[in-house]
Amino acid sequence: MIQLPAEFEERMKQLLGGEYCRFAESYEKERAQGLRMNRLKGEREDFLRQFADFGLRPVPWAADGFYYDGEARPGKSPYHEAGAYYIQEPSAMSVVSLLDPRPGERVLDLCAAPGGKTSHAASLLGGTGLLVSNEIHPARARILSQNVERMGCRETAVTSASPAELIPYFPEYFDCMIVDAPCSGEGMFRKDEEARLQWSAENVRLCAERQQEILEAAASMLRPGGRLVYSTCTFAPEEDEQAVDRFLERHGEFSVVKDRTLPGLSAGHPEWSESGRPDLAGTHRIWPHMAEGEGHFLALLEKKAESPKESEEADRGKKRGNRMKFPAYVKDKALLRGVRDLLKEVCPGAKELGDREEWFLFGDQLYLLPRELPDFSGLRVPRPGLHVASVCRSRLEPAHALAASLREGEAARICRLSEEEARKFINGEALPRSGEKGWTLVTVDGYSLGWGKQAGGMLKNHYPKGLRRQL
């Protein structure tokens, strides 16, 4: 039996009244397990067929989200390592679904680690636009970067900075933003004992203060006419309705988007705010006793454009484009010729990569930056874009991230493995295999795993040593 903090229980009794018993009983049930398919890697029909043994059921508020049977072990599968899906708490899938990023948009995920919402946004963007994924803590930013790589995200940069540090680089820059703010974590009590042990009313207060600071920074990076989703995985009104209330009091240019909702979401509670403003009924909650999810709060906000002309200019990128300064792209003609030759050799079907000009050398690592990424000098940037190649003396070797971003039709040579063979490959084993000499994209059921290099009768394993594991 889960022991909830006594002060938390008392507050929830006051808030929920007669609903509290049902709420408390939900903690005695098994929590719902969820995963979300990755559109960058495959098609829905193929996905449902390939993973039918997971017992998939749709998550009502996420088109690509599914519940899976408790007996399934999707995290111990080569398909997980291949980025076919992201294991994610079902409630959390609602955030990007509500924001609905559209192809070509500039998107900021401000508090992004470990990467569930970033990979969801990237999946919907479909390799277009710009996605900046930020995490202030360096260790968590590394995990975020690894997940961006695993999920095959191309037009994505990972930064590691405070929200305030980002403002000079992206003033009124983004079309939409994800602010999944650090919170007291009340919606994690069922799965995370540490969250229960660390909870206190004082921590709720501190979280509420920090959330306002984050929202202030977010407001200045969103273009006029843009939209922002604010979310938490907590039930505390101080961090939810009251947080939105305080923000709107300071920012009259923002309003709650009231005409968009999703199946399975409950309305917010204006009466739990300080002002009681009725538009807070347009915010959303997921309750563990009313839906299959641990709990979430969401508010979709829109920033008013001062005039139709201002909104039109922002949409066309004129206002933002005039102030853009681009990074120092590679000018070395020999290096550029080398990377284009490499791409022709290993992935001739991804011709658009070789046609690009946004090449950036990070030490001896060559990246292809998102087209619309401005100059980031002075920022901590663990991953400035798609890692394409390593410069090794006089030659270039294709990076693992490049392999992870490819589909079979883009590669020159393919080695298709069975699930059992894929497990051996991820463990670092070389595989006896005949085929054309050279760099070869290794796949399992169409999902890219990494590079092998065919030589003689063996496929040499180039799966990164730091990622190898026994499944």
Summarised one tens digit per residue, pLDDT across range 39-92 is: 999 999 999 999 999 999 999 999 999 999 988 999 999 999 999 999 999 999
**Domain assignment present for 48:** no
What pLDDT does residue 132 have? 98
Q: Distance between CA atoms of 214 and 147, rounded to whole angstroms?
A: 23
Task: Please list, residue by residue across 135-165, b when 16 or more beta carbons sit within 10 angstroms of its beta carbon and e when fewer do.
Answer: bbeeebbbebbbbbbbbbbbbbbbbbbebeb
Active-site residue list: 233
Q: Is residue 135 part of a domain?
A: no
User: Which tokens is 16 given?
Assistant: 């929920």
Round to whole Å and give the CA distance between 405 and 155: 11
Please tell me whether residues 368 and 405 are part of one structural domain. yes
Nearest residue to 158 via CA among 363, 329, 367: 367
- Look up the pTM and report it: 0.95
For the segment 359-370, the average pLDDT, to the nearest whole number, is 96
Q: Please write the tens of the pLDDT for every residue from 329-343.
A: 999 999 999 999 999
Is there a domain that residue 120 lies in? Answer: no
Measured between its terminal Cα atoms, the distance across the chain in Å is 32
Cβ count within 10 A of residue 15: 16
Residue 449 burial by CB count (10 A; 0-12/13-18/19+): exposed, middle or buried?
Answer: buried
Residue 447 lies in a domain: yes
Sequence-distant (6+) residues with CB within 8 A of 167 are: 217, 220, 221
Residue 2: predicted pLDDT: 83
Which tokens is 454 given? 């065919």
8 Å CB contact between 83 and 148: no
**Which pair of tokens denotes residue 189?**
């009590």
Residue whose pair of structure tokens reads 């559109």 in the numeric block: 39
Phi, psi of 78 (to 5 degrees): -60, -30
Residue 224 lies in a domain: no
**Neighbouring residues of 98: CB distance < 8 A, sequence distance ≥ 6:** 61, 229, 260, 262, 284, 298, 300
Residues 421 and 404 in one domain: no
Residues 354, 406 within the same domain: yes
Range of the domain at 379: 325-410
Q: Is 28 exposed, middle or buried (0-12, 13-18, 19+ CB in 10 A)?
A: exposed
What confidence category does residue 308 fall into, taking pLDDT thresholds of 50, 70 and 90?
Answer: low
Q: Decide: 265 and 94 in contact? Cβ < 8 Å.
A: yes
Backbone angles phi, psi at 255, to 5 degrees: -145, 160
Q: Which amino acid is at 267?
A: A
Position 456 scores a pLDDT of 85
pLDDT tens column, 197-254: 899 999 999 999 999 999 999 999 999 999 999 999 999 999 999 999 999 999 999 9
| pLDDT of 154 above 70 | yes
312 has a pLDDT exceeding 90: no
For residue 444, tell me if it sits in a domain: yes
The answer to whether the beta carbons of residues 408 and 441 sit under 8 Å apart is yes
The residue among 365, 382, 410 that closes a domain is 410
How many helices (H) and strands (E) would you count in the chain?
A: 17, 22
In terms of domains, do 332 and 404 share one?
yes
Q: Strand order in 359-362's β-sheet?
A: 359-362, 365-368, 386-392, 395-398
Q: How far apart are CA 414 and CA 448, in angstroms?
A: 9
Domain end point (choices 410, 427, 452): 410
Number of domains into which the chain is organized:
2
Helix, strand and coil content of the chain, in percent to the nearest 5, comes to: 40, 20, 40
Are 424 and 381 in the same domain? no
**For residue 315, what pLDDT is reported?**
55
Using DSSP's 3-state secondary structure scheme, residue 134 falls into strand
Residue 379 within any structural domain of the chain:
yes
What is the tens place of the pLDDT at every residue in 253-286? Answer: 999 999 888 999 999 999 999 999 999 999 999 9
The answer to whether position 74 is within a domain reads: no
SS3 109: strand
Q: What CA–CA distances, in Å, run from 43 to 46, 59, 83, 414?
A: 5, 17, 13, 19
Residue 388 contacts residue 175 (beta carbons within 8 Å): no
CB atoms within 10 A of CB 360: 20
List CB contacts of 355: < 8 A, sequence separation 6 or more. none
pLDDT for the residue 311: 58
In a 13 Å sphere around the CA of 420, the CA atoms on its Cβ side amount to: 0
Tokens standing for residue 266? 């409950």
| pLDDT score, position 321 | 44
Tell me: do 341 and 364 sit in the same domain.
yes
Give the distance between the most distant pair of CA atoms in the chain.
74
Q: Are 355 and 390 in the same domain?
A: yes
> Which tokens belong to 92?
């959390």
Q: Share the mean pLDDT of the chain.
A: 94
Cis peptide before 168 (omega within 30 of 0): no
- Looking at the fold, whether 432 and 384 belong to one and the same domain comes out as no
Q: Do 400 and 427 lie in a common domain?
A: no
Determine the 3-state secondary structure of 286 from DSSP.
strand
Same domain, 439 and 451: yes
Residue 418's domain is classified under what CATH number?
Answer: 2.30.130.60
| Residue reference for tokens 């009251």 | 242
Strands 57-58 and 65-67: antiparallel
Is the pLDDT reported for residue 428 higher than 70? yes
Final residue of a structural domain among 410, 436, 461 = 410
Q: At what angle do helices 241-250 and 201-221 cross, to 10 degrees?
A: 40
Q: Is pLDDT above 80 for 322?
A: no
Q: How many beta carbons lie within 10 A of that of residue 324, not counting itself?
A: 12
